Amino acid sequence: MTAPVRPASQAQLSARRRRKAPVRISPARRAVENLVIQIILIGAFLVLWEYASDRWVPKLMVSKPSDIGAQIWKWTLDGTFVRNLWVTVQATALGFLLGAAAGMVLGFLTGAWRRVGEILQPIVTAFYTLPRLALAPLFLLWFGLGMEFRVMFSATIVFFLVYYNTYFGVREVSQELIAAVRIMGANPLQVALRVIVPSALVWVAAGLKISVPYALVGVVVAEMLASDEGMGFLLSRGASQFSAAQTFAAIFGLLVVALVVDWLITALTNRALRWKTAGSMQN
Amino acid sequence: MLLDINDVHFGYQNEVELLQGFSLHVEQGEFVALLGPSGCGKSTLMNLAAGLLNPLRGGVNFGGHPLHGLNRDVGYMTQGDTLLPWATVAKNITLPLELRGVPKAQREEKLDKAVRLVNLAEHRNKYPSELSGGMKRRALLARSIIYDPPMLLMDEPFGALDAQLREVMHQELLNTVARTGQSVLFITHDISEAILLADRIIVLGGLPLRVLEETEVPFGKDRKLSEVRTTKTYADMEVHLRELLRKADALTKSKQH
Q: Within this chain, do residues A111 and A170 fall inside the same structural domain, yes or no? A: yes
Element (H, E) at B199: none
Mean pLDDT for chain A overall: 85
Q: Within this chain, do residues A145 and A261 fall inside the same structural domain, yes or no? A: yes
A58-to-A49, A51, A55, A62, A244 alpha-carbon distances in Å: 11, 12, 7, 7, 11
Look at residue A158 and tell me if it is in a domain.
yes
Dihedral, A79, A85, A88, A94 alpha carbons, nearest 10: -110
A9, A175, A184: best to mutate for the B interface, most B CBs within 10 A: A184
Residue of A nearest to B84 (CA): A195
R_g (Cα) of chain A, nearest Å: 23
Domain containing residue A164: 69-275
d(CA A175, CA A115): 16
In this predicted structure, what is the pLDDT of residue B104?
A: 92
- What average pLDDT does range A155-170 have in this prediction? 93
Contact B72, A185 (CB under 8 A): yes
A10-19, B125-134, B172-181 — which is least confidently predicted? A10-19
Report pLDDT digits (tens) over A133-142.
888 888 888 9
Q: Within this chain, do residues A49 and A153 fall inside the same structural domain, yes or no? A: no
In degrees, to the nearest 5, what angle opens at C-alpha B176 toward C-alphas B170 and B181? 120
d(CA B46, CA B67): 13
Look at residue A4 and tell me if it is in a domain.
no
Q: How confident is the model at residue A274 (pLDDT cuts 50, 70, 90)?
A: low
Using a CB-CB cut-off of 8 Å, the residues of chain B touching A185 are 72, 96, 99-100, 147
Q: Provide the CATH number for the domain around residue A116.
A: 1.10.3720.10
Report pLDDT digits (tens) over B178-198.
888 899 999 998 999 999 999
Contact B66, B60 (CB under 8 A): yes
R_g (Cα) of chain B, nearest Å: 18
State how far residue A198 is from chain B, nearest Cα, in angstroms. 8
Interface check for B129 against chain A (CB to CB < 8 A): the answer is yes
* Residue B71 to residue A183, Cβ atoms within 8 A: yes
**pLDDT at A263 > cutoff 80:** yes
Q: How many domains does chain A have?
A: 2
Report pLDDT digits (tens) over A75-119.
889 988 888 989 999 999 999 999 999 999 999 999 988 899 899
B43, B48, B77, B82: best to mutate for the A interface, most A CBs within 10 A: B82
Residue of A176, A185, A279 lying closest to B130 (CB–CB): A279
Report pLDDT digits (tens) over B205-250.
888 898 999 999 999 888 888 899 999 999 999 999 999 999 888 8
In this predicted structure, what is the pLDDT of residue A22?
A: 66
Predicted ipTM beyond 0.90: no
Report pLDDT digits (tens) over A175-230.
889 999 999 999 989 999 989 988 888 888 888 888 988 999 999 999 988 888 88
d(CA A47, CA A34): 20
* Residue B86 to residue A190, Cβ atoms within 8 A: no
Contact A162, A204 (CB under 8 A): yes
* Residue A184 to residue B95, Cβ atoms within 8 A: yes
The tally of CA atoms less than 13 A away on the side-chain side of residue B203 is 23
Q: Within this chain, do residues A170 and A207 fall inside the same structural domain, yes or no? A: yes
Q: Within this chain, do residues A47 and A124 fall inside the same structural domain, yes or no? A: no
Contact B128, B81 (CB under 8 A): yes
Interface check for B125 against chain A (CB to CB < 8 A): the answer is no
Cβ atoms within 10 Å of A32's Cβ, excluding its own: 12
Q: Within this chain, do residues A92 and A33 fall inside the same structural domain, yes or no? A: no
Contact B99, A184 (CB under 8 A): yes
Biggest CA–CA distance in chain B, Å, is 56
Q: Where do the structural domains in chain B lie, given as residue ranges?
A: 1-73+201-257
**pLDDT at A281 > cutoff 50:** no
Type of residue numbered A26: S
d(CA B169, CA B187): 15
* Residue B76 to residue A180, Cβ atoms within 8 A: yes
Q: Within this chain, do residues A115 and A199 fall inside the same structural domain, yes or no? A: yes
Q: Within this chain, do residues A140 and A256 fall inside the same structural domain, yes or no? A: yes
In this predicted structure, what is the pLDDT of residue A23?
A: 64
**At a CB cut-off of 8 Å and minimum separation 6, what does A40 contact?**
none
**pLDDT at B75 > cutoff 90:** yes
Percent of chain A with pLDDT over 70: 87
Name the residue among A86, A129, A96 with its Cα closest to residue A233: A86
Interface check for A184 against chain B (CB to CB < 8 A): the answer is yes
Q: Which CATH number is B1-73+201-257's, of 3.40.50, 3.40.1440, 3.40.190, 1.20.1070? A: 3.40.50
* Residue A184 to residue B99, Cβ atoms within 8 A: yes
Phi-psi domain of A109 (left: phi exceeds 0; alpha: psi -120 through 50; beta: other): alpha
d(CA A118, CA A123): 10
Q: Within this chain, do residues A37 and A73 fall inside the same structural domain, yes or no? A: no
A260-269, B103-112, B145-154, B223-232 — which is least confidently predicted? A260-269
d(CA A44, CA A59): 19
Look at residue A20 and tell me if it is in a domain.
no
**At a CB cut-off of 8 Å and minimum separation 6, what does A2 contact?**
A125, A128, A164
* DSSP annotation of B8: E
Interface check for A186 against chain B (CB to CB < 8 A): the answer is yes
In this predicted structure, what is the pLDDT of residue A135?
A: 86
State how far residue A61 is from chain B, nearest Cα, in angstroms. 54
In this predicted structure, what is the pLDDT of residue A112?
A: 87
Q: Within this chain, do residues A109 and A45 fall inside the same structural domain, yes or no? A: no
* Residue A278 to residue B52, Cβ atoms within 8 A: no
Residue of A nearest to B77 (CA): A180
Name the residue among B167, B90, B170 with its Cα closest to residue B131: B90
B136: phi then psi, degrees, rounded to nearest 5: -60, -45
**pLDDT at A149 > cutoff 80:** yes
d(CA A222, CA B1): 71
Residue of A177, A183, A198 lying closest to B72 (CB–CB): A183
DSSP for A70-83, written as a single string: HHHHHHHHHTHHHH
**pLDDT at A15 > cutoff 70:** no
Q: Within this chain, do residues A221 and A264 fall inside the same structural domain, yes or no? A: yes
**pLDDT at A156 > cutoff 90:** yes
- What average pLDDT does range B73-94 have in this prediction? 92
More confident residue, A155 or B39: A155
Residue of B87, B100, B127 lying closest to A279 (CB–CB): B127
State how far residue A175 is from chain B, nearest Cα, in angstroms. 10
Strands B31-35 and B200-205: parallel
d(CA B42, CA B47): 9
Residue of B71, B82, B86 lying closest to A176 (CB–CB): B82
Q: How confident is the model at residue A283 (pLDDT cuts 50, 70, 90)?
A: very low
* Residue A198 to residue B50, Cβ atoms within 8 A: no
Q: Within this chain, do residues A29 and A136 fall inside the same structural domain, yes or no? A: no
Type of residue numbered B112: D
Residue of B nearest to A11 (CA): B129
Cβ atoms within 10 Å of B93's Cβ, excluding its own: 28
Look at residue A63 and tell me if it is in a domain.
no
B156: phi then psi, degrees, rounded to nearest 5: 45, 55
- Mapping DSSP to helix (H, G, I), strand (E, B) and coil, where does residue B228 land? helix
Report pLDDT digits (tens) over A26-39.
888 889 999 999 99
* Residue A184 to residue B80, Cβ atoms within 8 A: no
* Residue A184 to residue B70, Cβ atoms within 8 A: no
DSSP for B73-134, written as a single string: TEEEE-SS--S-TTS-HHHHHHHHHHHTT--HHHHHHHHHHHHHHTT-GGGTTS-GGGS-HH
Look at residue A79 and tell me if it is in a domain.
yes
Contact B139, B118 (CB under 8 A): yes
Residues 38-67 of B with CB under 8 A from A: 47, 50-52
Interface check for B12 against chain A (CB to CB < 8 A): the answer is no
- What average pLDDT does range A138-160 have in this prediction? 91
